[in-house]
């Protein structure tokens, strides 16, 4: 399986992905799911992938081939707007799925893949799109400034609670790492190492990039700190009426106050191919 997340905030974009593609007890494989296409000073793109590995690799190879061909009129380097790039990537994805499917007929293996595309073209602000197996795509919004592919449910709560357009780029990156850490904790099919990249608005290049292993000091500290503070937070929640007061505290009746919760998100309509072919 896979878990990848892309985040868009006012300061730029954050991308994070695991690298595990197989999770049986005696067959664990690692492949990069973050693909960078960088043309400093002009444009930069990061693509996260989930789904059939052959389809993904063929798609990335075709994108790279077109971008390196000066005579190619349709490539990552020729479009003026990011939404046009997203449409083009969708076309290449559909063609790659068709080619792989011709080779895998009668095998019963899904050849579908789902991508998250983000980046910036000179003269435009950064943007983030999800490209579905059918080639169609959606963009982030102020209400949902992130996109996930793969095993998304375990790492979603922190994204919903914390992320806003005004969140700093570094705080968004920390949320991405905690989101991945929570997923790894609950799902064996998502695993280390992790890849992370940041694009600060206006840089037109990857601002920061790193790979985090389980024993990388930064990741280990984030993992331990998050676990410890979550446990402490539960202990400091309001006590039930029948519980004795904590040591050093007086157990007194307090007037209840109404807490206004943030509005619930409306469940989005899921694309039929979103979960198909994930690995």
Helix axes 169-186, 217-235, angle to 10 degrees: 80
Neighbours of 224 (CB within 10 A): 10
pLDDT tens-place string over residues 45-58: 999 999 999 999 99
Q: In the β-sheet with 12-17, what is the strand arrangement from edge to edge?
A: 146-150, 3-9, 12-17, 194-200, 208-212
- Sketch out the chain's domains with CATH numbers: 3-223 (3.60.20.10)
Give the closest residue to 21 by CA, choosing from 88, 113, 104, 120.
113
pLDDT of residue 246: 77
pLDDT of residue 278: 43
Virtual torsion, Cα 273, 276, 277, 279, nearest 10 deg: 120
pLDDT tens-place string over residues 189-236: 899 999 999 999 999 999 999 999 999 999 999 999 999 999 999 999
Give the closest residue to 196 by CA, choosing from 56, 20, 18, 44.
18
**Mean local confidence (pLDDT), 251-263:** 50
Alpha carbons 187 and 50: distance in angstroms, whole number: 16
- Residue 45 sits at the vertex; the CA angle it makes with 44 and 48, to the nearest 5 degrees, is 155
**Average pLDDT of the chain, as a whole number:** 89
Residue 73 clears pLDDT 50, i.e. is over it: yes
pLDDT tens-place string over residues 165-176: 999 999 999 999
pLDDT of residue 263: 54
Alpha carbons 32 and 247: distance in angstroms, whole number: 51
């Amino acid at each position: 399986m896979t878990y990848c997340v892309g985040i868009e905030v006012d300061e730029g974009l954050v991308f994070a992905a695991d690298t595990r593609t197989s999770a049986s007890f005696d067959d664990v494989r690692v492949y990069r799911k973050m693909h960078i296409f960088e043309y400093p000073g002009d444009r930069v793109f990061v693509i996260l992938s989930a789904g059939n590995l052959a389809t993904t690799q063929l798609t990335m190879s075709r994108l790279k081939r077109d971008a390196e061909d000066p005579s190619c009129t349709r490539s990552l380097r020729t479009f003026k707007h990011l939404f046009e790039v997203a449409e083009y990537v969708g076309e290449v994805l559909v063609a790659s799925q068709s080619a792989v499917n011709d080779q895998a007929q009668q095998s019963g293996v899904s050849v579908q893949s789902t991508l998250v595309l983000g980046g910036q073209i000179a003269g435009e602000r950064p943007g983030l799109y999800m490209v579905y197996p059918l080639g169609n795509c959606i963009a982030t919004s102020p209400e949902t400034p992130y996109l996930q592919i793969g095993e998304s449910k375990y790492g979603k709560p922190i994204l919903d609670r914390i992320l806003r357009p005004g969140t700093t780029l570094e705080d968004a990156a920390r949320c991405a790492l905690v989101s991945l850490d929570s997923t790894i904790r609950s799902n064996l099919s998502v695993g280390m190492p992790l890849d992370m990249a940041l694009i600060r608005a206006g840089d037109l290049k990857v601002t920061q990039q790193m790979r985090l292993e389980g024993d990388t000091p930064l990741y280990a500290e984030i993992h331990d700190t998050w676990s410890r503070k979550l446990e402490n937070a539960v202990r400091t929640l309001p006590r039930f009426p029948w519980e004795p007061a904590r040591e050093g505290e007086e157990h007194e009746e307090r007037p209840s106050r109404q807490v206004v919760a943030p509005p619930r998100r409306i469940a989005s309509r899921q694309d039929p191919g979103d979960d198909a072919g994930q690995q």
